[in-house]
Structure 1
Amino acid sequence: MPSGSAGRQRAVLALVCAAAVSTIYGIQPVLEAAGEDLGLGEGALGWLVAAGQIGYLAGLVLLVPLGDLFDRRRLITVHLLLTAAGAGTAAVAPGGGIVIAGLALAGLFAVVVQITVAYVAAVSPPGERGRDIGAVTSGVVLGILGVRVIAGTLGELTGWRTVYLVIAGLCAVLALAARFTLEADVRRPRARYGQLLSSLGRLVVGDRLLLSRGLVAFFLFASFGTLWSGLALPLGDEPWHFGTTEIGWFGLAGLIGAQGAARAGRWADRGLALSVTGWSLVLLTASWLLIAQARASLWLLIVGVIVLDFAVQAVHVSSQHLLTTARPDRSSTVIGAYMAFYSLGSALGAITATWAYSAAGWPGASLLGAAYAALGLLVATSTRRFAALPRVTPCRGSAAAGPPPAPAWSPPGRRGAC
């Protein structure tokens, strides 16, 4: 990441994504401890996990379109503060019902991640959009996987409530950092909020690029969810018998692979988003051959996890680059609709991973994850023609080599003479 204000802003926004998404996944490593503390039975534990996901899905529909109406910097600040309020409520709640409500509130406003991605797409010069989206998106993976390591350790040392106290404090600090670090992103809304909501369904059905990339994301994150929702099962069983802290450390392998997100963004800037999608989905499918060896070799498992997370993030960044380039005037709405597919796919992977494991062990779960990846590859291949983007017309009077690049992170209206 380069030095200067552009690098600082990318770092802040990557941390915003990490902190926000960790409110949804932070409960997983400490789920059993939270259930015991709150007096919840096994049947009710699922609601602690589902609360954030349900809130998140509602936020994708109800809140993300606001980014096409209002200053996204202000929305990022306000949503982070409300995310902090939800996490703080969960941390101090006396009973399970209030904890679930706090987690749902945090999940609702955790869609600040999508508003952040839309902000990045809006303020980045076209030639650097993919790189910037990739750098910021890496924060999402940092939150999903890194929180497993941190929450597992904190949960054992100080209790599960400390996890959400730390997340709440981090969200509040980042709200201030975003307010004073980011440039304003003022816009003139072209539609009313109600019109944006009513157009969501028509957008999904009528925009073939969105539908195709959404279906790819659905199967992509079903495969991702199969791994990360089910991996604790073989690691906690014979022959390893690992505890929650040891299992959490496997998130580091995912973080190593996810560093490819920034590189994938640079490839997308060079017009390679479609080819990156294709070979990354092949890699994703093949990675399950290694992951399936979890009971026999931890090294093969670690390599498979690294490959899987690299492939997932490469496809994810490429898809967002294509969508925000095709619809720059509605990037928030488009990203929100796209992420709804992501959320549904993640939920499918989480639900079916445990079912497959109980029915056929880890080989069965691995076969399921590979099948999801192969279906994503099939969709990407069969809908490739929908992702062709028009050429960008250079500024009138520019030299043959094109206009000079705009400064990174310049706000709208300050990007040159075009």
Structure 2
Amino acid sequence: MTTALTTKRPAEHAVRLGLRENRLQFTLLVVVNIAVGGLVGLERTTMPLIGTDVFGLTSDLAVFAFIIAFGLSKALTNLAAGALTARFRRRQLLLTGWLIGVPVPFALAYAPSWGWIVAANVLLGLNQGLTWSMTVNMKIDLVGPSRRGLATGLNEAAGYTAVGVTALLTGYLATGHGLRPVPELLGVVFVATGLALSLVVRDTAAHVALELARHAEPLPTGEKTGLKAVFVRTSWRDRSLRGASQAGLVNNLNDGLTWGVFPLLFTDHGLGLAAVGLIKGLYPVLWGIGQIPAGHLADRVGRKPLVVIGMLVQAAGFLLALALLDAPLLAGVLSAVALGLGTALVYPALIASVSDHAHPAWRANALGTYRFWRDIGYAAGALVAGILADTLGLNATVVAAAVLTAASGLLAARWITDRTEP
């Protein structure tokens, strides 16, 4: 008996919740997510222009097909990731995501046809869905309920700052070396780094078990925790989760739309690749860095105010892009600032809100469902942008994005409620 107790105590004390208590593992996961964001950042500046200038595409919808493929693939992977965590450890899924991502930079750099680019984006979506889902879940596991906003803010800050810096770098590289293959081969560094560090990161299953044991609210008898039940609950039945899901969808609809439309819009108005790279890089850099104070603020003042204000600021950013288009660089920079800061307010607050309203027993499925709706926004944004741009023009597409974003913010104000963790 004495021996059993003696061997058990160190194990109990080894697993602790908190940012400071798990700072080494948390930091490793932050660096992993820098690599995750860097890989998807390869496409932000150059890919729409590769479609038009290298492969000669004339339809905007055809150009945006790579974003549709990416968004659908990532969204479905996010949804599956929640269910997969019931069968596999998070670290196993993280490593799988990196292995899937190995061919992506080479396909983007040397694809002989646009169909290869679209296929590479299916793999990129699988990679992003597994790696980004696991890094955010693992960080939430490590810190426990009291610092979720800060944890998600740090995670998303790392990823989206990397997206922005990579978009900026690819713009400058494309100016000096052409649209391909040099800018895309940066991705080899990101894949190698992410895969190597994921081999070092420890799994967080013990932290989830500890939080479950401490949770003030026991799981109600008979409550279903499977993917189907949680999907319905997160998508519609729970008012706050429904509000977060629709806001996430529209937020990434914006991102998918700007991903495809802004390089074409601003090059049409005379800007070069370096200037477009600055605009496309500034948006996610501010989005990324801003999530650190935004995540901390979400823990202090609640999630809902940040979501509503952030969506309205994004809507204003779209209108700025059009109002000042006679000075395209100024229009692009001011729009990027508003979109970046608005999204920074929204992103960590939404993930933290979903975590607040989900019991630890079904939180992974709830986050997977939310991330499904959020990232289906990429595909929806690219589809809407392609249809509107082909029929009404790029300017009308930007106006439609502003209207949808403002409406989503008002729905979030009506549906989302803040909940204090006991």
Tell me whether the two structures share a fold, i.e. TM-score over 0.5.
Answer: yes
Is the 2:310–2:345 contact (alpha carbons within 8 Å) kept by the matching residues of 1?
A: yes
Provide structure 2 residue ranges, at least 5 long, that are not aligned to the other structure: 1-18, 213-218, 220-224
Q: CA deviation at 1:380?
A: 0.9
CA contact (8 A) 1:14 1:135 kept: yes
Normalising by the residue count of structure 2, what TM-score does the alignment of the two structures yield?
0.78
CA contact (8 A) 2:172 2:274 kept: yes
| Counterparts in 2 of 1:46 and 1:310: CA distance versus 1, 3 Å | closer
State the 1:59 CA deviation.
1.1
- The 2-side partners of 1:300 and 1:46 are apart by 23
Equivalent residue number for residue 345 of structure 1? 377
1:215 positional shift? 0.9
SS state at 1:152 partner:
helix
Q: 1:244 aligns with which of 263, 273, 295?
A: 273
Of 384, 388, 405, 1:373 maps to: 405
Among residues 85, 89, 102, which one is paired with 1:67 in the alignment?
85
8 Å Cα contact 2:73/2:125 also seen in 1: yes
Give the secondary structure class of the aligned counterpart of 2:361: helix
Report how far residue 330 of structure 1 moved.
Answer: 2.6
Aligned residue among 64, 72, 75 for 1:54? 72
Of 307, 323, 326, which residue of structure 2 is paired with 1:277? 307
User: Residues 208 and 181 from structure 1, CA distance in 2 versus in 1: closer, same or farther, beyond 3 angstroms?
Assistant: same
More displaced, 171-180 or 199-208?
Answer: 199-208
Superposed counterparts of 1:209-358, under 5 Å: 209-238=240-269, 241-254=270-283, 255-297=285-327, 298-327=329-358, 328-357=360-389
1:397 aligned partner: none
Counterpart secondary structure, 1:375 = helix
Unaligned runs of 5+ in 1: 393-418
Deviations 1:83-128 (A, max 9, x none): 2244445545556555543331232121111221111111113322
Q: Which amino acid aligns with 2:171?
A: G
Partner residue, 2:134: 115
* Cα distance, 1:262 vs structure 2: 1.0
Offset, 1:295: 1.5
Identity %: 18
For residues 324 and 274 of structure 1, what CA distance do their matches in structure 2 show? Answer: 13
Equivalent position to 1:132, from 127, 136, 151: 151
Aligned residue runs from structure 1 range 183-202, under 5 A: 184-186=204-206, 196-202=226-232
Query: Which residue is equivalent to 2:43?
Result: 27
Q: 1:92 to 1:184 in 2, by over 3 A?
A: farther
Q: 1:132 to 1:104 in 2, by over 3 A?
A: same
Q: Secondary structure at the match of 1:29?
A: coil
Q: Deviations over 1:111-146 (max 9, x none)?
A: 111221111111113322211210111133224433
Query: Counterparts of 1:243 and 1:320 in 2: how far apart (Å)?
Result: 36
Q: How many residues align?
A: 383
* Structure 1 residue 290, shift from structure 2 partner: 2.3
Alignment partner for residue 198 of structure 2, among 155, 174, 178?
A: 178
Mapped to 1, the partners of 2:314 and 2:141 lie a distance apart of 30
- Residue 104 (structure 1) aligned with residue 133 (structure 2): no
Distance 1:159 1:206, change over 3 A: same
8 A contact 1:77–1:175 mirrored in 2: yes
Shift in alpha-carbon separation, 1:28–1:270, aligned structure 2, 3 A = closer
Shift of 1:364: 2.9
Give the Cα–Cα distance (whole angstroms) in 1 for the partners of residues 114 and 393 of structure 2. Answer: 32
CA shift for structure 1 position 176: 1.7
For 2:228, give the aligned amino acid.
S
- Structure 2 SS opposite 1:63: helix
Shift of the 196–150 alpha-carbon distance from structure 1 to 2, 3 Å rule, reads farther
Aligned mates of 2:335, 2:49 — CA distance in 1: 30
In 2, Cα distance between equivalents of 1:169 and 1:109: 15
Q: Specify whether residues 114 and 266 from structure 1 end up closer, same or farther in structure 2 by C-alpha distance, changes over 3 A only.
A: same
Structure 2 Cα separation of the partners of residues 243 and 310 of structure 1? 25
- 1-side partners of 2:115 and 2:386: how far apart? 25
Relative to structure 1, the CA distance from residue 355 to residue 11 in structure 2 (aligned partners, 3 Å threshold; closer, same or farther) is farther
Supply the AA of the counterpart residue of 1:368: A
CA–CA separation in structure 1 for the residues paired with 2:415 and 2:168: 38
Distance 1:90 1:223 in 2: 24
Letter in 1 for 2:362: R
1: CA distance, partners of 2:64 / 2:310? 32
| Structure 1 Cα separation of the partners of residues 418 and 232 of structure 2 | 21
Whether the 8 Å CA contact 2:49–2:264 is kept in 1: the answer is: no
Q: Deviations over 1:11-31 (max 9, x none)?
A: 543443343345445335333
- How many Å separate the matches in 1 of 2:293 and 2:65? 37
